[in-house]
Amino acid sequence: PRGASRGEDGVVRLAGVAVTELAEEYGTPLFVIDEDDFRSRCRDMARAFGSADRVHYASKAFLCGEIARWVADEGLSMDVASGGELMVSLHAGFPAERITMHGNNKSVSELRSAVSAGVGHVVVDSMQEIGRLDAVAGELGAVQDVLIRVTVGVEAHTHEFIATAHEDQKFGFSLSGGAAMDAVRAVFAAANLRLVGLHSHIGSQIFEVDGFELAAHRVIGLLREMENEFGAERCAQVTIVDLGGGLGISYLPSDNPPPVDELAAKLTRIVADQSAAAGLSAPTLMVEPGRAIAGPGTVTLYEVGTIKDVRLDGNATRRYVSVDGGMSDNIRTSLYQAEYDARLVSRESSAEPVVARVVGKHCESGDIVIRDTWMPEDVGAGDLLAVAATGAYCYSMSSRYNLLTRPAVVAVRDGESRLVLRRETVEDLLSLEVRQHD
Ligand code: LLP
């Protein structure tokens, strides 16, 4: 987080609050969000893309009422991908007209909730959905603005992208084979839908602009095709090109994502140049960053429990440092081989670093938080470790595996902390039981 620093006593402060106090007050594991970090990334995005409402925070990265209020406050829009994300946003007072609803298999009831709440955009993802949404809007006496999700055949991750290889997936309408044009015809023909833009999402944790560039090129190619078939006047309302999310962040000190300003300037120029080259008026560029807003400003605090030295081939040993959470609060290491950085934060140590693996407390050996790292030799029970950049896709993908209860989430700002999501309790687990004991 931007507001992290180590005090003279060796204890790390997050926005001025000592991690030892946080652990004492709220317990561990604990997600700690640096509120100013989150908000400043919203502002950076808004500035970089020229207007706050063109930036949709992808709430799948992490959402609760407090986050929805920060996003609303900063003027950003919201991307939701389920009825749950929609309801938490609306419940927090997020303005419906700044919400975009996603999903490849939205239920009729989710569509109904979205249209009746008055969401700004629904991103349609299948022919059946175009029919369902048209019917729902008709029932509710509404005309719903929609974007069409286009599968552009570009798949990007971090440093690489693959063109043409990835049309064989569940999202969107393919460009090849004409499915996307069929969707355009269907939306134009639907009495209760208004086509206002095209959408593409090419992947996540992307460091380079090339994948977006090709995606933009292909989306603009479709706009061109639409004008050829329907004429400029009919297409004048189709003003949005949404390039989705995917802006990468730094998980390790060695990661070097491009600054947001730089990436945004390139994307803006690419969309302007390409539409000019296609003889089209410049569309409005929109984006949906989740990780790049929520990721960097949060750390997970864990307390160290047991330590075990395991003999490897030859003479080496690996130190297993167990913490009081694991794959239930961070599945990303086991699911994606994600890499994280952990630090001893409750004190400073000048002990020699040893090769270590940070593991959780779940009943499987794949329950690894950090596969390979270094830890001071003297790290032991009761020490606090902070794992950095856990704000995106950790809590939001958390589970109750082994019936561990979900950690609390606190926000820190200006030397103060406050609870935003309380820790789950055993009572929460028992409350789902239909048969209550007497
Ligand atoms: N828009 C759409 C349509 C998306 O599908 C996603 C992410 C985003 C925006 C936000 O992408 P971001 O800016 O956060 O990269 N669970 C995985 C990431 C899955 C992302 C799915 N879609 C992980 O933990 O790495």
Check residue 315 and give its pLDDT: 85
Q: What is the pTM of this model?
A: 0.97
- Predicted confidence (pLDDT) at residue 165 exceeds the cutoff of 70: no
Give yes or no: 42 in active site.
Answer: no
Q: Band of the pLDDT at 157, cuts 50, 70, 90?
A: confident
Residue 164 has pLDDT above 80, yes or no: no
Residue 160 has pLDDT above 90, yes or no: no
- For residue 226, give the nearest of 150, 131, 306 by alpha carbon: 150
In the annotated binding site, the residues are: 246, 288-291, 332, 336, 364, 393
What percentage of the chain reaches a pLDDT higher than 90? Answer: 94
Give me ligand 1 centre to Cα 241, in Å: 18
- Choose which residue among 38, 45, 56, 60 to substitute to test ligand 1 binding: the one with the highest number of ligand atoms within 8 A of its C-beta: 60
Instruction: Give 285-337 pLDDT, tens digit per residue.
Output: 999 999 999 999 999 999 999 999 999 988 889 999 999 999 999 999 999 99
> CA angle, 248 as apex, 101 and 366 as ends, to 5°?
90
What does the pLDDT look like over 186-245, one tens digit per residue? 999 999 999 999 999 999 999 999 999 999 999 999 999 999 999 999 999 999 999 999
Q: Which of 69, 33, 24 is nearest to 394 (CA)?
A: 33
Mean pLDDT of the chain: 96
Q: Percent of the chain, pLDDT > 70?
A: 99
Q: Which domains does the chain have, with CATH numbers?
A: 4-32+297-430 (2.40.37.10), 49-294 (3.20.20.10)
Reported ipTM exceeds the 0.85 cut: yes
CA-closest residue to ligand 1 atom 21: 204
Q: What is the Cα gyration radius of the chain?
A: 24
- pLDDT value at residue 96: 98
**Is pLDDT above 60 for 55?**
yes
CB of 102 sitting under 6 A from ligand 1: yes
What is the rounded distance in angstroms from the CA atom of residue 384 to the CA atom of residue 12? Answer: 10
Which helix (H) or strand (E) segment is 24 a member of? helix 19-26
